[in-house]
Chain A
Amino acid sequence: MPRLSPTKTKWFFDSEGRNRGVRRDLADVEQPLIDLRGVSLKFINYADKTFTIKRAFLQLLLRREKPVPDSEFWALRNINLRIRQGERIGILGSNGAGKSTLLRLLAKIYPPTTGEVAVRGTVAPLIEMGAGFNPELTGFENILLNGAILGFNRKRMLEKVEEIHEFTGLREFADLPLKYYSSGMYSRLAFGVATSIDPEILLVDESLSAGDAAFREKATRRIRDLMKRSRAVILVSHDMGSLRKLCDRGLWLRKGELIADGPIKDVIDDYEAWTKSIKTAPA
């Protein structure tokens, strides 16, 4: 393992274990786990995605205007955010406000267009289930592969396999290729693997309903459990009740802008008042 000094690059994760053995919880409680500075993210809706060589050459040579201009879309605008140890954050906002985009940005899937993102610690993205599953491989092999992607080596993952089987109840299908799984089994396995790791930062996206009612209840309990274990939680949901219960700090996003940041109760109250005022306002 190369010993690298933490640097001021756009991205850096401290999950490589550079400071293993240091009581980090004592050493830098003050340091924020997540630090976003002036982060904006622009999506360009390419008029046609097949940007051909021919067109690129013509544009370069003739300095010609594009036949159809690409439309821009700012999904996140100038977001400043610091998340410290132990905070439970709920993100509110209506559809298209940029909540999921923010989660993906924190999970390093999208790079910021401007601004800086610094994330310290392992991130468990419960954003989309079953990322990195290979349908040709068996359930067991997929558990190992997914664990590797999430940052766990084979040995540590092998210790967890038993527990995952216990939770999903798919032990007898472990040697069956994933393509023969039913969609319910598939999502149960995906959920089981994603929630089996011990993250420092947990990103959860709302609709995590998988399987029947009994499983959903089990899943909810498992997420709550996971939230207790992780050092920071960011939860996106439309369910105000669970947000009130689970979070202590609320963020309200509107059109990609962070318009409120404070205790969850106040933010939810403001948000609900605003929603009502929109509804009652004459069209």
Chain B
Amino acid sequence: MDARNETSTAVVDGFPAAPAPRRAVRWLQVARDDQAELIRFWPVVHNMVSQDLRVRYQRSFMGFLWTLINPLLMMAILSVVFSNLFPSRANYSLFLLAGMVPWGLLSGAVVESTASILINEGLIRKIYVPKLIFPLVRALLNLVTTVLSLGALFILLIPLGARPSWPMLLLPVAMGLLFFFTLGMALFVATANTFFRDCGHLVSVFMQAWYFATPILYGVSDFPEAIQWRFWLNPAFYYIEIFHNIICDGQWPRASILGTAAALAVISMGIGYATFKSNEDKMVFRL
């Protein structure tokens, strides 16, 4: 019969055709198409996020309250442990929590979206869904938990000795910047892991190293003035610094830091999005 056993194909009268010259990618068009697709598939994203949250706390006695209680308990433990370990700093537990919460968004989203394309293989191979939504869902899920943790942090603020202040109005902006920075990295990592499976293992180790390289457990001021500039090379430093400024010190963050954070968010988003879109078509063949 007609069943193919041979794997290689002879070139028959001009087939396969010579590859067409590569057309330049029109990024504006790509982004506009994606916007339309995201609007069309927004109910799917919404569904996936809310149901993932629901499944996570299904059939537990406290149910959805765990999203709030969990970070509260975590923070209580962390502040007890670390403020006894490093008692040198005033108000150390608040300092610690203000750094931990935004870091949770970054590392959680990046680590989770590493395998997001591979995990959803069943869906991708059966039905059309824009692949962009899988890293996006992971990032949004982490955003939701982080915002809830931030809520828990506010509850803790009073006993920890801080007071609500005007600069806190800037928190949504800081969250937004951090979210886009995170999403860019998540997209990049998700693409890389689809083609190079080793990435998954590297990413979690890398995030761990990055965590210790970022002033979360310690402050920049613990270092001599002469080498403090080294932290400027760390992109995460700017975001953590903004949160420290706002939550711990109750100060408006410096414009230069905010500006750098915004620029980094744009760069990260640009690199991540471009990498993802230019490899999106090949992904289905690599699953």
Interface residues of A (CB under 8 A from B): 1-2, 4, 7, 9, 11-12, 15-16, 38, 40, 42-46, 49-53, 56, 71-74, 77-78, 93-97, 107-111, 114, 123, 125, 127-128, 131-132, 134, 136-137, 141, 144-145, 148-151, 153-154, 254-255, 275, 278
Contact = CB atoms under 8 A, between A and B. Distances in A.
Nearest to B123: A132
B287 to A, nearest CB: 9
A16 B195 CA distance: 32
Interface residues of B, number: 45
B196 A52 contact: yes
A275 B58 CA distance: 56
A77 B43 contact: no
A56 B284 CA distance: 19
13 contacts: A40-B16, A71-B7, A72-B8, A77-B15, A109-B127, A114-B16, A114-B17, A132-B129, A137-B51, A148-B46, A149-B123, A149-B129, A254-B2
B172 interface: no
Contacts of B285: 43-44, 110
Interface stretch (B30-38, B100-108, B234-242, B258-266): B30-38
A108 B128 contact: yes
Contacts of B17: 38, 40, 78, 114
A278 B127 CA distance: 36
B16 A144 contact: no
A132 B1 contact: no
Nearest to A278: B1
A136 B58 contact: yes
Interface string B168-192: 0000000000000000000000000
Contact of B127 (A95, A125, A134): A125
B84 interface: no
Contacts of B88: none
A131 B40 contact: no
Contact of A109 (B19, B128, B197): B128
B230 interface: no
Contacts of B129: 132, 149
B15 A73 contact: no
Interface of B: 1-4, 7-9, 15-17, 19-20, 29, 32-33, 35-36, 39-41, 43-44, 46-48, 51, 55, 58, 122-129, 195-199, 281, 284-286
Contacts of A114: 16-17, 19-20
Contacts of B44: 145, 148-149
A46 to B, nearest CB: 8
Contacts of A151: 40
A54 B196 CA distance: 9
Nearest to B35: A2
Contact of B1 (A78, A94, A107): A94
A45 B7 contact: yes
Given A44-B285, A148-B43, A9 B7 contact: no
Contacts of A9: 29, 33
Nearest to A157: B43
A171 B44 CA distance: 23
B279 to A, nearest CB: 11
Contact of A134 (B2, B51, B195): B51
B55 A137 contact: yes
A144 B36 contact: no
Contacts of A78: 15, 17
A49 B283 CA distance: 12
B123 A16 contact: no
A267 B240 CA distance: 68
A275 B125 CA distance: 31
A40 B19 CA distance: 11
Nearest to A93: B2
B284 A109 contact: yes
Given A73-B7, A96-B3, A114-B17, A153 B43 contact: yes
**Nearest 9 CB-CB pairs, A to B?**
A131-B126, A108-B128, A131-B127, A94-B2, A148-B43, A111-B281, A128-B126, A136-B55, A148-B44
B9 A73 contact: yes
Contacts of B58: 136
Contacts of B39: 1-2, 16
Contacts of B36: 2, 4, 16
A99 to B, nearest CB: 11
B47 A144 contact: yes
**B16, B17, B128: most-surrounded residue (chain A CB, <10 A):** B128
Nearest to B281: A111
Contacts of B2: 93-97, 254-255, 278
Contact of A154 (B40, B41, B43, B128): B43
